[in-house]
Structure 1
Amino acid sequence: MLSLKLPRLLNINQVPKVFREQGIVFGYRHPRSSAADCLLSVFQMTNETLNIWTHFVPACYFLGKLLALLYALDLCNDVYAWPLLAYMSTCCIYPFMSSCAHTFSTMSTQARHICYFFDYGSLSIYSLGSAVAYSAYVFPEEWVDGTFHRCYVPTAVFNAVLSTGLSCYSRLGAPYHHYNSDILERFPELEQPRFSKVLRTLAFVYPYLFDSIPLFYRLYLCAEDSCAEGVIPIHIQHVVFAFLTCFIFTTHLPERLAPGHFDYIGHSHQVFHVCGIAGTYFQMEAIMMDMASRHERLRASFPLPTLSQTVGLIGVCLVINLIIIGAFSKALYSTPESSKREKTT
């Protein structure tokens, strides 16, 4: 009878520091897992299993919504739908890339960093997709076609590129920087963990806050005038989940209060994933409601964006992000082989 041998799990004292997570004691995969072991671990209860599934399942759901959109709309002739297409494409990319990063991050130390470089890059692309959709459907009517509106998406492109660079830097430091022989123990993430965390948080909070300026203004006006727009409560739900996502990511609750008790189920990264996906869901619903309800007014207010200003812009930013990720990834392999030996405890 065929039996399946699942990879052996380790505790925190059996893996190098770079693989350790605050408050997580058990359930670590081997830091030199093969690709096959990583795939098998998807069906094994480890401290990463729910991190993988809480983003893989939503990625499939968002892909289904995107395919339904492609089927329902005449995208060749309906220019008004192109920003939504660009946005929903990024909603599929970032959870899928995150799921892959968590799956294959234990193949080696270098692989771990590279996996998360791609994870960060996909998140920055999602921030740009949000900006493209907000520019087309969410902007306050009195701001439409104004100076800020015209500068909004180009600035979001810059923010997305900056976000990728800062978040990659928070793990590795400057590309091609010369490390001593203890390279794998000298990453900024290990030498200055608080600074690294703050830098990485800033890399994603700042683009979100900038992207949300038109939304925050609409929410402010609604609070002042007691408006009855049905989409406003959904926008508020998105903002609440965005705040919870940031709070949970930075505090490492609840595992920091009870190390070892939330190793497999309930630790902060799982909750962070769930809140992030919930925020994206409500954001998507609100954007589609604004798109439908404000259709005539917005189409009459400003020129509709072209394909190059929506999907094309996402593609250009994707290429730039790949160049940045390539530079940081190359830095991982730019020192002599003797300086890359992983230390085990």
Structure 2
Amino acid sequence: MCSGIAPPLSPESGTEGRSSGKMFSLIKLRRVFTVHQVPKAFHEDSIISGYRHPRSSATDCVLSLFQLTNETLNVWTHFLPTWYFLWKLMTVLLMEDAWYDAYTWPLLVFLISCCVYPLASSCAHTFSTMSTRARHICYFFDYGALSLYSFGSAISYSAYVFPDAWVNSTFHAYYIPVAVLNTILSTSLSCYSRLGLPFLHYNHDIDERFSERQSPRLSKVLRILAFAYPYLFDNIPLFYRLLLCVGEGCTDNEANSIHLQHTSLAFLTAFLFATHLPERLAPGRFDYIGHSHQLFHVCAIIGTHFQMKAIEADMVLRQSQLLATAPPITFNNTVGSSLVCVSISLGIICLFSLPLLYGSSETHPTKTEGKKCKH
């Protein structure tokens, strides 16, 4: 087990750690390290400094939120918005007829997913430096939450956003079942992108044998595909409504401009996630503030806000028409389907986590850490 003492640093890196601590820390905290002082599993593309100790305790992880590291803003840019979406959820739940009005259920499912994904993300970024295994498991849950958010979007789109011309169509009938399958595929593929298949590509002895070490580019492509495909499928009715539909049945209302704002931000979010800009242009310059993952978080949250506003606008503006023409909203095609997705996703996450949960002690300390830790 690790002694809990930070690994000795070179005089140069120690000076850097002390100066950054004096400048940025609100309270006295452990030093931060460079990319060369932490295991490869913790490396971030073009991020040179600001890394936390790779064997931090849970308390250290929480305290690090009040120190500027390369993860601090990743946490706060998702943790604070969680409370905003929770407030929006509570305003709907406290409506007198929210529990009994089936027309409201898709909005509730969507708002719950909006609360879950930023909370899961902030927790993953907070506790991912407890160990290499903890890092993988944290992000498995993060990926599952993103898959749930995609499914929540599909539920609300099916109920409120489908263009008039597609309401009650064959595509509409199969839209939710396919979204369920997409959620399962998204969770599975995103978890697979970290380590491969449990027990086959990795086990209790080695937990970073697959793509992130051997094929980082393949890992990134698989992860992008895991989230891009469900998003593109979910938005087929919206893309048709905004870009292709002409004439009768196109649902031209005030919500369209808000949908365009959300869609633009969604593509900007994907661009930032895929390109690692701006830090790739100037490695080390954006380690603490302004790197792509922070911008990705901010754009995602703002985009989700506009998405919520657009969904609410469609819900109100089209209520009488949809209640008369759309398929009935039931427990099975809203809350029930969501519970199925949550259950299966949790099962997938547990399957990928089992080799890590019941493994032996970690075997990937930093070079200097080996002097202080016994395995």
Q: 232, 255, 278: which is aligned to 1:209?
A: 232
Letter matched to residue 133 of structure 1? S
Task: Give the distance between the partners of 1:227 and 1:211, measured in 2 at CA.
Answer: 17
1:217-256 per-residue CA deviation (whole Å, 9 max, x = no partner) reads 1002467799862111110011100000110001000001
Equivalent runs, 1:1-345 vs 2, <5 Å: 4-177=27-200, 179=202, 183-221=206-244, 229-333=253-357, 337=360, 340-345=362-367
Task: Give the distance between the partners of 1:28 and 1:187, measured in 2 at CA.
Answer: 23
Letter matched to residue 271 of structure 1? L
Letter matched to residue 348 of structure 2? I
Secondary structure of 1:322's aligned partner: helix
Cα shift at 1:76? 2.8
Cα shift at 1:110? 0.3
Task: Give the distance between the partners of 1:223 and 1:238, measured in 2 at CA.
Answer: 21
Cα shift at 1:343? 3.7
Mean Cα displacement is larger for which, 309-318 or 283-292? 309-318
Q: 1:81 to 1:4 in 2, by over 3 A?
A: same
Task: Give the distance between the partners of 2:101 and 2:208, measured in 1 at CA.
Answer: 53
Q: Unaligned regions of 5+ residues in structure 1, if any?
A: none
Mean Cα displacement is larger for which, 203-212 or 311-320? 311-320
Letter matched to residue 80 of structure 2? V
Mean Cα displacement is larger for which, 64-73 or 209-218? 64-73
Give the equivalent residue in structure 1 for 2:3. none
Letter matched to residue 338 of structure 2? I
Q: 1:198 to 1:114 in 2, by over 3 A?
A: same
The runs of at least 4 aligned residues of structure 1 exceeding 6 Å deviation read 223-227
Letter matched to residue 70 of structure 1? L
Cα shift at 1:182? 7.3
1:147-168 per-residue CA deviation (whole Å, 9 max, x = no partner) reads 1101000100000010000000
Q: 1:96 to 1:179 in 2, by over 3 A?
A: closer
Q: 1:39 to 1:294 in 2, by over 3 A?
A: same
Secondary structure of 2:284's aligned partner: coil
Q: Unaligned regions of 5+ residues in structure 2, if any?
A: 1-25, 368-375
Cα shift at 1:311? 1.7
Cα shift at 1:332? 2.2
Q: 1:119 to 1:178 in 2, by over 3 A?
A: closer
**TM-score scaled by length of structure 1:** 0.94
Secondary structure of 1:264's aligned partner: coil
Letter matched to residue 169 of structure 1? Y
Task: Give the distance between the partners of 1:132 and 1:185, measured in 2 at CA.
Answer: 36
Task: Give the distance between the partners of 1:304 and 1:73, measured in 2 at CA.
Answer: 21
Whether the 8 Å contact between 1:131 and 1:156 is mirrored in structure 2 is yes
Whether the 8 Å contact between 2:74 and 2:297 is mirrored in structure 1 is yes
Task: Give the distance between the partners of 1:29 and 1:269, measured in 2 at CA.
Answer: 17
1:89-147 per-residue CA deviation (whole Å, 9 max, x = no partner) reads 10000000000000000000000000000000000000000000000000011211111
Q: Percent identity?
A: 61
**TM-score scaled by length of structure 2:** 0.87
Cα shift at 1:333? 4.4
Task: Give the distance between the partners of 1:342 and 1:333, measured in 2 at CA.
Answer: 16
Task: Give the distance between the partners of 1:344 and 1:147, measured in 2 at CA.
Answer: 56
Count how many residue pairs are aligned between Structure 1 and Structure 2.
Answer: 341
1:26-72 per-residue CA deviation (whole Å, 9 max, x = no partner) reads 11000000000000001111100000000001111000000011113
Structure number, greater radius of gyration = 2
Mean Cα displacement is larger for which, 223-232 or 317-326? 223-232
Mean Cα displacement is larger for which, 307-316 or 98-107? 307-316
Aligned residues: CA RMSD: 1.9
